[in-house]
Structure 1
Amino acid sequence: MNNNDQDGYDETLYKFAEYRETNVRQPVEHYTIHNCMLKQFLDKDGLLTGKRVLDLACGHGYYTRELKALGCSYILGIDESPTMIALARDSKWHCSEDIEYMVADVKSLPPLQSSFDLITAFYLFDYAQTSDELLSMVRFIYAQLGESKTFIGVIGNVTGGKDMFNNRKYGITRETKLPFDGDLLPDSTEIIVTMYDTQDMPMCSFSNYHYSPTTYEQVFKEVGFKTFQWVPYQCDPNDPNGTFFEDLIHNAPSIGIIATK
């Protein structure tokens, strides 16, 4: 992919992310992350006061800003896309005050100077093309976490089988280049993800890579994490359009991970 193609892809992905923020993200993804994953690590005031946070694969900084709003003392967002980081830094689109951003590839990033109290990575592992790349990502996260500190992540739902591949109702589909039997995909299987706009027209397609739940659990254990937990997607019970998301929850396209060093 040349630079012009990459810029066009990043800008399209940004537009889709903005669409998700008012569609799937708020009642489902946002609710799951904040209420089912992050909440247990907040202080009595519901904040991250005094915490150092690292947000990997931060994209245009949506969750970086969400985490900063919870009062952490320092937050760094890292993404390998210069276009996404430029959008994150652009005050025309976002308030990026007191947030530091960096363009870097986690797989080849040397250790940072100081450890973190919390590391997040939303859809980072989906881009590991080999098990060695997945291992290097998890090793970097482990090295940057303080002792007994926590990692929170979201990936494509590797526990969901074929049923989670078609979520076009919610603007996303997945397919493999080669057919497969049953629900078991080999590790490193390439999955083509296609995103659709509000008129159900394709916006962009890109590749993710599948690893089994067992592989994820083994990699985190090998690196040294003491605990590992899957967190299924949930919908905000108070959302007035909750029935619209029933199919999404039943065949969730994504799943959360919580791991403690």
Structure 2
Amino acid sequence: MSTQFDNIQVPYDYIRKKSIAYIERVNVQTTLAPFINNARVLELACGSGFYTYDLREWGANAVVGVDISPVMIEEARRLGYAALATTSSSPTSSDNNENSNSNTVEFIVADCAKPILYPGGPFDLVFAAWLLNHAPDHKSLVDMFRSAVLNLKDGGHFVGITVAPTSDPTAWYEAEAEARPPPEGTGGLLFAKTGDVEDGISVHCYGETEVGRVDIRGWYLRQDVYERAAREAGLKADLRWEITNVPERWLKGEGEGGASLEELRSYEKVPAYGFLVVAK
């Protein structure tokens, strides 16, 4: 997994400037709002920091970001240094600026698919954007969830962005292909089913950009597999799913990213992603 993300950092970040990524960000902020104020957050699969500094702005006291790709982590750190430099040069900044990223954001290169105890815990919230879709089966999912459980306080929450919940991943794949065909697909990304596995399907996510090609291999497992794995790992309290919600300003043509109204409307029928929210 490390190699595929080392090779796509620049085009992947380019793709994350499409409308569906901005919409995802709004959905993430809404979903995390009940849990994030003054929280210590562990961010698994942080990538190049797409959410890391937002988590601080949204109220987290501290964030530890973890990713398997050293290239992604290097870019995440660079963004933090740039933000800190801008803050430090501001006429209104000070050494005691409580909004500074200094000493409140840390990055670690590690395999999020393995249960590891990270420094800075226990955490109030474990957030994982697009991690669970890299689990090929139930056992791998259990290990990912165990990483969350190992680092969570009792009563803490896990929030993961992954594929939209369904009992039939093949049917979703076919519906997505019909709803968002080439060349744009889902925010510049297209999906190809590459095979059947015991708990769902394997998929290839790809897209061409002005700065290179995105190629990601992953899996789309059934909803019940995610839920059983979370419970087996030790996330025993409240569990719920949420799906893509397109804010009204995008439907009015006022949102970022340039998506057509046709694409935006398609997310109401075939969601682009789901949120799994579960408490320890």
TM-score of the two chains, using structure 1 as the length reference? 0.82
Query: Residue 39 of structure 1: which of 17, 33, 38 is its match?
Result: 33
Q: What whole-Å deviation, never above 9, does each CA across 1:8-47 have from its counterpart, x for those lacking one?
A: 3233222222x23xx2222x21222122x112335xxxxx
The CA distance in 2 between the partners of 1:169 and 1:140, in whole Å, is 30
Residues 1:106 and 2:112 aligned together:
yes
Question: What is the CA–CA distance in structure 2 between the aligned matches of 1:133 and 1:94, rounded to whole Å?
Answer: 36
- Number of equivalences: 242
Which residue of the partner structure matches residue 73 of structure 1? Answer: 61
Q: Aligned-pair distance for 1:186?
A: 4.2
Does residue 221 of structure 1 match 2:237? no
Structure 2 unmatched ranges of 5 or more = 85-100, 256-260
The Cα offsets for residues 163-185 of structure 1, whole Å up to 9 and x where unpaired, read as 1246316312111124x7xxxx7
**Aligned counterpart for 2:154 among listed residues 138, 147, 156:** 147
Q: Paired residue for 2:206?
A: 194
1:55 shift after superposition = 0.6
Residues 11 and 83, structure 1, Cα contact 8 Å, conserved in 2: no
**Secondary structure in 2 aligned to 1:238?**
helix
Corresponding residue for 1:255?
A: 274
Identity of aligned residues (%): 21
Q: Are residues 66 and 77 of structure 1, via their aligned partners in 2, closer, same or farther at CA, if it must alter by over 3 Å? A: same
1:59 to partner: Cα distance: 0.4
The question of whether the paired residues in 2 share the 8 Å contact of 1:194 and 1:202 is answered with no
**Unpaired stretches in structure 1, ≥5 consecutive residues:** 43-47
Contact 2:133 2:162 (8 Å CA) reproduced:
yes
SS of the aligned residue for 2:60 comes to coil
One-letter amino acid of the structure 2 residue matched with residue 110 of structure 1: I
More off after superposition, 164-173 vs 143-152:
164-173
- Give the direction of change, closer, same or farther, for the CA distance of 1:147–1:194 in structure 2 (3 Å limit): same
Contact 2:200 2:222 in 1 (8 A): no
* Alpha-carbon distance in 2 for matches of 1:9, 1:202: 8
- The amino acid of 2:207's aligned partner reads M
Q: 1:45 matched to which residue of 2?
A: none
- Measured on the aligned residues, the alpha-carbon RMSD in Å equals 2.6
Question: Which secondary structure does the structure 1 equivalent of 2:229 belong to?
Answer: helix
Measure the CA separation in 2 of the matches of 1:173 and 1:71. Answer: 34
Q: Once the 2 structures are TM-superposed, how far is the Cα of residue 118 of structure 1 from its aligned partner?
A: 0.7
